[in-house]
């Protein structure tokens, strides 16, 4: 059994391999044994090197597996943090290629844009502190994917190294400021997938599906970043995980997330 991660060269090699797979739309069964992370900390060390691949500042952060459905989907027992790269983030109404997506699902998510930095510290951040640093709330759609052929067997450490199954992200317009008076945990979201052949799949869920509520998930992410020594910066977006059971998607589909009074966002997948 692997007990320790090799040095900086192997960490770089693991990051190089995973990024190449992501860019090329290819899959592997697992990282080579000498490049495989022994635990979550190693996974985050590999993931952190992704930021050097981007020509723009980090767009933000995602949380995978915040719901029981999300955890079951990738076979982990708790949430994972990943990075949103600017080159993989788009405005609502975007048209994207389906490509070689192996997960082939869509997720409706509450997303927060931060108004000020939250730096690592010894004491945990409270939910209220995390919310006080938020500038705006947005409806969002995430299209996840993994670089592993069978992501249900990869395990948390490799999935963290694999950027917590990040792929493409679509951010809607900011919700009215009245969102702060709403019960986000009880708020409903509806995700509709319309196929080019006329079929339709509708999934509904509420904010409490993400760790008990979007603001709870936000606080989890803030504290996870604090633990790994990363700053959550003003302007970055935190998307809090799917609040609906992810429906299947295919090329040619139109995906719409409706958050009622909070607004909506859509994405088109090219046929």
Structure tokens at 198: 């006329």
Nearest Cα residue to 8 out of 40, 42, 53, 33: 42
Kindly state whether residue 66 falls inside one of the protein's structural domains: yes
Kindly state whether residue 11 falls inside one of the protein's structural domains: no
As a whole number of angstroms, the distance between CA 25 and CA 159 comes to 16
Kindly state whether residue 12 falls inside one of the protein's structural domains: no
Kindly state whether residue 186 falls inside one of the protein's structural domains: yes
Kindly state whether residue 187 falls inside one of the protein's structural domains: yes
Kindly state whether residue 19 falls inside one of the protein's structural domains: no
Kindly state whether residue 85 falls inside one of the protein's structural domains: yes
Q: How many domains in the chain?
A: 1
Indicate whether this model's pTM tops 0.85.
Answer: yes
Backbone angles phi, psi at 132, to 5 degrees: -65, -20
Is the pLDDT confidence value at 68 over 80? no
- Domain containing 117 equals 56-270
- Our separate counts of H helices and E strands in the chain read 6, 12
CATH number at residue 78: 3.90.850.10
Confidence of residue 6 (pLDDT cuts 50, 70, 90): low
Please report which residue ranges of 57-155 form alpha helices under DSSP H: 68-74, 127-132
Structure tokens at 118: 């939250």
CB contact at 8 A, 88 and 190? no
C-alpha neighbours within 13 Å on the C-beta side of residue 25: 8
Q: Tell me which of 18 and 197 has the higher pLDDT.
A: 18
As a whole number of angstroms, the distance between CA 21 and CA 93 comes to 27
Is the pLDDT confidence value at 3 over 70? no
Displacement of CA 189 from its chain's centroid (Å): 17
Tens digit of each residue's pLDDT (9 = 90 or more) over 172-229 = 999 999 999 999 999 999 999 999 889 999 999 999 999 999 999 999 999 999 999 9
Tens digit of each residue's pLDDT (9 = 90 or more) over 75-123 = 888 899 999 999 999 999 999 999 999 999 999 999 999 999 999 999 9
Confidence of residue 1 (pLDDT cuts 50, 70, 90): very low
Residue 70 is predicted with a pLDDT of 75
Kindly state whether residue 18 falls inside one of the protein's structural domains: no
Average pLDDT, the chain: 95
């Amino acid at each position: 059994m692997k007990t320790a991660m090799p040095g900086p060269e192997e960490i770089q090699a693991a990051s190089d391999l995973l990024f190449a797979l992501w860019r090329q739309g290819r899959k592997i069964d697992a990282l080579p044994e000498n490049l495989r992370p022994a635990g979550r900390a190693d996974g985050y060390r590999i993931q952190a090197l992704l930021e050097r691949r981007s020509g723009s500042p980090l767009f933000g952060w995602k949380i995978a597996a915040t719901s029981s459905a999300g955890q079951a989907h990738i076979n982990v027992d708790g949430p994972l943090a990943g990075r949103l790269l600017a080159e993989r983030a788009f405005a609502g109404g975007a048209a994207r290629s389906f490509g070689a997506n192996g997960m082939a699902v869509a997720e409706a998510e509450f997303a927060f844009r931060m108004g000020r930095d939250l730096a690592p510290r010894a004491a945990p951040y409270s939910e209220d502190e995390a919310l006080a640093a938020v500038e705006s709330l947005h409806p969002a759609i995430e299209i996840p994917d993994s670089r592993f052929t069978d992501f249900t067997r990869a395990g948390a450490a490799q999935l963290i190294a694999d950027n917590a199954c990040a792929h493409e992200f679509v951010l809607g317009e900011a919700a009215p400021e009245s969102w702060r008076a709403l019960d986000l945990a009880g708020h409903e979201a509806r995700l509709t997938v319309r196929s080019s052949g006329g079929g339709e799949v509708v999934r509904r869920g509420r904010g409490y599906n993400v760790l008990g509520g979007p603001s709870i998930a936000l606080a989890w992410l803030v504290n996870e970043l604090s633990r790994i020594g990363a700053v959550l910066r003003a302007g970055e977006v935190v998307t809090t995980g799917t609040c609906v059971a992810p429906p299947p998607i295919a090329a040619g589909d139109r995906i719409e997330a409706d958050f009622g009074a909070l607004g909506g966002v859509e994405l088109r997948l090219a046929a």
